[in-house]
């Protein structure tokens, strides 16, 4: 059952070939058997899941519900879930049980999906390998000695190993697309403002965006349909009509114009990864698309720009975690200052402390203009590069990452090498456009993702392009050996 799509499972549930309780028990059993190897979950809520499944069966019995009703999913552990531990992968929130529900999880719950639990992640979404979690590193299902990518590595690993049908993730600089690529699944980072950030614990507010992660583009479309839409609780939410993401998913690609940025295929890209990407592009040509070279000249500035803007916003956002209202508080503080200092020093991990310090420095008096303001000006140039390119082509394609998944611990002592893993994804967040990762092949037994980028609010087009490719390829159907027979 774990190999089947949302559409197939939804049909079986409606036909009474299967109950949601049976389906939920199946996935809970897989989690119990396989997750000790992966560490993809922080919290599994079996009782709540079975109660939701029973309610979904009652709904389906009366001919009601949506395509997600009765479907087991998981949420990245930075979406607040009322009454369920929400940690953000941090000791700081190791005891935080939210009194309210995030808009994303609420909408998915209202659509009838079953929450199996909360997935592991890099602490406060800061990382590219899911090695920065207070709860330990997540392993890649394709090779347990490799990273799953980050920061949504728990969600990616859980979907890849068939522990859930689909999951939510968030993407601040590639944190949906890179783990999707590393784990061989499909992941969509929507346009900034398309999905509500209310109840989504913030890392960098002008960059964070929630999105779906699943085996296929069609499954992502089902989840996206529930997630997307204006929310008056989120001041950055876009008042833009929500497309029917399945309506044109089968439209032919004849006449599609694809742009290949020359900057994505230069030094630093593994030649075997490049071969996989170009083979995928040739498939699109067979489907009627045309390809032309384009330029995104400011791509190389995305890393320095991002690593000023994101830590600056994190420095501000994470100032609320001081041991006073919620979260970790040190034992026996001598005074208020001692409580602040020790609570934060004990509660935050090394990478989070590092980024808070960088951000605080960039925002300090005398440095704001030199660093933060300059980075925002570069951000504008990066956005203009995309606007210009997307006036000439319908979508832009390239690699998600310069390599396949790397070894656990291989880059933890070299932050620059770790940050360079995001070279092809950061610019999308800085510009605010949508993008997705689609399985496109393997290099030495490890998955490679094709990145597809589009214009603002063109998620339906991206899902259509990805779906058509998946109708003519089977990379998204491949299953890790450890996931078979469980």
CA distance 178 to 149: 6
C-alpha dihedral over 190, 195, 199, 201, to 10 degrees?
20
Q: What backbone phi and psi angles, to 5 degrees, belong to 290? A: -110, 150
CA distance 238 to 196: 9
CA distance 93 to 265: 41
Any catalytic annotation for residue 151? yes
Q: Which helix H or strand E contains 447, and what residues bound it?
A: strand 446-453
Return the residue matching tokens 């704001």: 368
Pull the structure tokens for residue 429: 């967040």
Length of the chain: 486
Q: How many CB atoms lie within 10 A of CB 416?
A: 8
CA distance 360 to 364: 6
Strand order through the sheet with 114-119:
41-44, 114-119, 72-76, 166-170, 210-214, 186-189, 435-443, 446-453, 395-399, 257-261, 290-294
Q: Which of 19, 20, 152, 175 is catalytic?
A: 175
CA distance 27 to 479: 16
CA distance 284 to 215: 20
Cβ neighbors of 126 (< 8 A, separation 6 or more) are 132, 151, 203, 314, 351, 352, 355
CA distance 85 to 389: 43
Pull the structure tokens for residue 413: 């002592």
* Alpha carbon 277 to its chain's center: 21
CA distance 231 to 234: 6
Q: Which of 19, 67, 76, 102 is catalytic?
A: 76
**Could you give the maximum distance between any two Cα atoms of the chain, in Å?**
70
Pull the structure tokens for residue 151: 């920061």
CA distance 90 to 118: 13
CA distance 404 to 148: 10
Any catalytic annotation for residue 76? yes
Any catalytic annotation for residue 175? yes
Q: Which of 129, 151, 196, 437 is catalytic?
A: 151
Q: Return the sign of the alpha-carbon dihedral for residues 417, 423, 427, 432.
A: negative
Which are the catalytic amino acids?
76, 151, 175
């Amino acid at each position: 059952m774990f190999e089947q799509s949302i559409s197939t499972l939804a049909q079986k549930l409606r036909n009474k070939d299967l109950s949601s309780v049976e389906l939920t028990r199946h996935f809970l059993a897989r989690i119990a058997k396989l997750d000790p190897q992966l560490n993809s979950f922080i919290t599994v809520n079996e009782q709540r899941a079975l109660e939701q499944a029973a309610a979904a069966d009652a709904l389906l019995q009366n001919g009601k519900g949506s395509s997600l009703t009765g479907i087991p999913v998981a949420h990245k552990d930075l979406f607040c879930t009322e009454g369920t531990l929400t940690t953000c992968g941090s000791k700081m929130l190791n005891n935080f049980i939210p009194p309210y529900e995030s808009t994303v999880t609420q909408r998915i719950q209202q659509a009838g999906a079953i929450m199996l639990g909360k997935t592991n992640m890099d602490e406060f979404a800061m990382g590219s390998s899911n090695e920065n979690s207070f709860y330990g590193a997540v392993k890649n299902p394709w090779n347990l000695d490799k990273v799953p990518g980050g920061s949504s590595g728990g969600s990616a690993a859980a979907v890849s190993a068939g522990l859930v049908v689909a999951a939510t993730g968030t993407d601040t600089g590639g944190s949906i697309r890179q783990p999707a690529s590393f784990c061989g699944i499909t992941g969509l980072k929507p346009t900034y403002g398309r999905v509500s950030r209310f109840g989504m614990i913030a890392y960098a507010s002008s960059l964070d965006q929630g999105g779906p992660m699943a085996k296929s583009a069609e499954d992502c479309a089902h989840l996206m349909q529930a997630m997307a839409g204006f929310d008056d609780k989120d001041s950055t939410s876009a008042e833009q009509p929500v497309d029917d993401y399945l309506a044109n998913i089968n439209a032919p690609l004849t006449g599609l114009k694809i742009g290949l940025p020359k900057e994505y295929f230069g030094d630093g890209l593994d030649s075997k990864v490049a071969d996989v990407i170009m083979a995928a592009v040739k498939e699109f040509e067979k489907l009627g698309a045309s390809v032309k070279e384009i330029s995104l000249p400011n791509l190389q500035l995305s890393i320095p720009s991002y690593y000023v803007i994101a830590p600056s916003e994190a420095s501000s956002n994470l100032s609320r975690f001081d041991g006073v209202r919620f979260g970790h508080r040190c034992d026996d503080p001598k005074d208020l200052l001692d409580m602040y200092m020790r609570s934060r020093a004990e509660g935050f991990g090394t990478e989070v402390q590092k980024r808070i310090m960088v951000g605080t420095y960039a925002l300090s008096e005398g440095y704001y203009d030199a660093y933060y303001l300059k980075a925002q000006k570069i951000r504008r140039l990066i956005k203009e590069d995309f606007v210009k390119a997307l006036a000439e082509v319908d979508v832009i394609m390239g690699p998600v990452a310069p390599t396949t998944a790397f070894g656990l611990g291989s880059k933890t002592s070299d932050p620059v090498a770790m940050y360079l893993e995001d070279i092809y994804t950061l610019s999308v967040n800085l510009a605010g456009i949508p993008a997705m990762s689609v399985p496109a092949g393997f290099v030495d037994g490890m998955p490679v993702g094709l990145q597809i980028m589009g214009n603002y609010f063109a998620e339906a087009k991206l899902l259509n392009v990805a779906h058509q490719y998946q109708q003519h390829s089977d990379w998204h159907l491949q299953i890790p050996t450890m996931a078979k027979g469980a």
